[in-house]
Chains A and B, each alone.
Chain A
Amino acid sequence: MQLLWSGVFLVPGVGLIAVFVVVPILLTAWISLHQWSMYTPLTQMQFVGLANYQEVLSDPTFQQALLNTFIYSGVSIVLTVPLAVFFGIFLYRPAIRGRTALRMVLFSTYMVPTVAVAIVWGYLYSPLYGPFNEILSFLGLPSQPWLGSTSEAMVSLIILNLWQTLGYYTVLVLAGLTQIPQDYYDASAIDGAGLLGQTRYVTLPLLRRTLTFVVIIAGINTLQVFDPVYVLTQGGPVNSTNVLTYDIYQTAFQFGRAGAASAMAVLLLIVLAIVVPALLHVARED
């Protein structure tokens, strides 16, 4: 009886996920072994073994995209996570008035569509009319080319991401903090621990699972960055902001090379399949 009901309740949710996530993953892997143009019927598909992987891995554009993605992701995580912990602890302390307001302000940036964020920041970064350069010149600093230069475009995208997602990760840290029993703080206060001591010996160790979770979510989100690149830089200037998802999208939907695009997608999946379980493993160890 229970088995019947299990079926009834599981089929809509799990069935949809199977059809629209699991099967397409297998299809992507299958396509990656073939030479196939997006614009020709399936029957035109030609088996080529691992040739797509060979081609993609030796392609300098793809190598650059891979490197750019790792830089974007790595720098974003290294900046976001400590700041989220800092603001989380700061906002968790009950002594401050206005922290509910700041909590909402911080989170509000996450509600804005990334495309809208990108459009607004495109104007903020604008070399001529942009407020950022205006502020710099007010401070007596030289104007910056921001998105227009190969050396600053990636940094500009990372700052945009930091601004948009910090509030979300801070809220995740806050959720983790509410799970730490007050007794631990009381006990450490009796032992004479100040704010720094408490943070070091109570908060951070007990926050470990939350932090792993935050790193994983931030990793997944940043490894598949697409919207700001599509809206603001189209991978330029000179490939300096070309990232994996953008490169795959272009390869498939602009150039129609479904086989090569699928090989790139599988490589991205392999990276995630190594990194995510490794992080989860680290989190479980005590």
Chain B
Amino acid sequence: MHRRKRSATREFVATQRRARFSRLTLVVGQYILLTVASFVALFPLLWMVASSLKTPAELQVLPPVWLPAHPNLDAFGTVFSVIPYGQAFLNSFVIAAGDTVAIVLTSIMAGFVFAKYQFRGRDLLFYAVLATMFVPTIVTLVPLFHVIQAMDLVDSYPGVMLPQLANAFGIFLMRQFIRGVPDELLDAARVDGASEWTVLWRIISPLLVPAVATLVLFAFVYQWNSFLWPLTILQSQDKFTVVLAMSRLLSYTSSIQFQNVVMAGAVISILPNTILFLFLQRFFIAGLAQTGIKG
């Protein structure tokens, strides 16, 4: 009797120990996975930064040097003198910021109608708008080029920006958010004599901060990174966006000794998106969850 109890206790302790051990392996495994995943994700970026700090001599050594012996920022100056990179930065900023502001405004307005107004054919129209989200850029490229050409806007800011001032994703995102705003709130404002314009911009818009943050991030990053459309419509070097300038930079400096210059250009090109992301990231997952991409 006594002995049986003791062996049961011992077994219990052993099970506990085994459980603790397997939990420990799990935790260690998780941290190993975390480290490996971070390293794989970061390696190309770290290598890019390291290369931008190397000297031309270091870049030509075989076997290659992993880390610069004397990190220097020369390449970051050179990139601005090889091509008009400062101008390209300004171009990208005007285009991406302008498009983003327009997308936010047009999306809030259209999203409001699709969320809160009733009229015949509303849902059909909404689904038609939604369907344009799945249309690849290349499908409309040839006629769009001719439309912009007919408007005499080839190789200009407005030419690049015009087709990008509204998009289905923005309208969809805003509709999902505005649907969550209680009708009573709008009706109360209407009873107080507020016009629909006031209802939208004074009552609803202040509640949309997470949605707007999410849309700003997506729209800006998308426009900043965009390549095919600017490649088609912009022709002179002083109109190039950062991404276009970079693709030209690569062909100018195909020699290995200029790799630091190209990498410096790449590092600079990432900064605006990164800064925006750091500012807006706390809204971000919450914003995405609202789009109805739920399980």
Does A185 interact with chain B (Cβ within 8 Å)?
A: no
A189 within 8 A of B: no
Contact check: which of B37, B113, B142, B227 meets A227 at CB < 8 Å?
Answer: B227
> Within residues 84 to 98 of chain A, which ones have a CB less than 8 A from any CB in chain B?
87, 90, 95-96, 98
Residues of B with C-beta under 8 A to A87: 37
Q: Choose from A3, A99, A117, A167 the contact partner of B119 (Cβ within 8 Å).
A: A3
Interface segment out of the listed B1-9, B74-82, B133-141, B205-213: B133-141
- Interface members, chain B 26-45 (any A CB < 8 Å): 27, 30-31, 33-34, 37-38, 40-42, 44-45
Assess whether A116 is in contact with B142, with CB atoms less than 8 Å apart. Answer: no
Known: A114-B225, A163-B40, A163-B41. A224 touches B136 (CB 8 A): yes
> Which of A123, A171, A224, A231 is within 8 Å of B259, CB to CB?
A123
Tell me the nearest residue of chain B to A266, going by C-beta: B139
Q: Given the known inter-chain contacts A17-B168, A208-B295, please indicate yes or no for A220 contacting B288, CB distance below 8 A.
A: no
B residues less than 8 Å from A269 (CB atoms): 135-136, 139
A182 on interface, CB distance cutoff 8 Å: no
Bound CA span A130–B294, Å:
42
Q: Name the distance in Å between A193's Cβ and chain B's nearest Cβ.
A: 16
Binds B, one of A46-54, A74-82, A104-112, A148-156: A104-112
Taking a contact as CB atoms under 8 Å apart, the answer to whether B246 and A167 are in contact is: no
Q: How large is the interface on A (under 10, 10 to 19, 20 to 34, 35 or more residues)?
A: 35 or more
CB < 8 Å neighbour of A210 from B51, B119, B273, B293: B293
Pair A17/B285 contact, Cβ less than 8 Å: no
Please determine whether B274 and A108 come into contact, CB atoms closer than 8 angstroms.
yes
- By beta carbon, the residue of chain B nearest A224 is B136
Residue of A nearest to B107 (CB): A13
- The answer to whether A129 and B64 touch (CB under 8 A), given A9-B113, A249-B138, is yes
Given contacts A112-B45, A120-B44, contact A28 B256 (CB under 8 A): no
Tell me which residues across on chain B come within 8 A of A8, comparing CB atoms.
109
Size category of the B interface is 35 or more
> Taking CB as reference atom, which chain A residue is nearest B110?
A13
Question: CB distance B243 to A115 under 8 Å?
Answer: yes
B221 & A20 in contact (Cβ 8 Å cutoff): no
Residues of B within 8 A of A203 (CB): 295
B277 touching A24 by the CB < 8 A rule? no
Residues on the B chain within 8 Å of A2, using CB: 117-119, 196
Please tell me if the beta carbons of A113 and B269 are within 8 angstroms of each other in the complex: yes
Of B107, B136, B146, B273, chain A has the most CB atoms within 10 Å of the CB of B136
Residues of chain A within 8 A of B177, CB atoms compared: none
Q: Which residues of A lie under 8 Å from residue B125 when comparing CB positions?
A: 10, 14
Assuming the contacts A113-B243, A113-B270, A172-B293, asked whether A98 and B34 have C-beta atoms less than 8 A apart, the reply is yes
CA distance A252 to B225 in the complex (A): 23
B266 beta carbon closer than 8 Å to chain A: yes
List, in ascending order, chain A residues with CB within 8 A of B224's CB: 113
By the criterion CB–CB under 8 Å, are B163 and A20 in contact?
Answer: yes
Interface of chain B residues 42 through 71 with chain A (CB within 8 A): 42, 44-45, 47-48, 51, 59, 62-64, 66
B247:A28 contact, CB within 8 angstroms? no
**A258 contacts across to B, CB distance below 8 A:** 142
Q: Which of A15, A102, A115, A121 lies in contact with B246, CB distance below 8 A? A: A115
Interface flag for B262 (CB, 8 Å): yes
- Name which residue of chain A comes closest to B226, CB basis: A113
Q: Assess whether B142 is in contact with A252, with CB atoms less than 8 Å apart.
A: yes
* A203→B41 CA distance, assembly (Å): 25
Whether B112 is near chain A, meaning CB under 8 Å from some CB there, is yes
Q: 14 extra interchain contacts, Cβ-Cβ under 8 A, other than A110-B221, A113-B270?
A: A96-B31, A105-B42, A109-B45, A114-B225, A116-B243, A117-B44, A120-B263, A121-B44, A123-B263, A210-B295, A213-B293, A226-B138, A226-B227, A245-B137
Sampled A-B contacts (8; CB under 8 Å): A9-B109, A14-B110, A16-B106, A21-B132, A112-B273, A123-B51, A177-B295, A220-B134
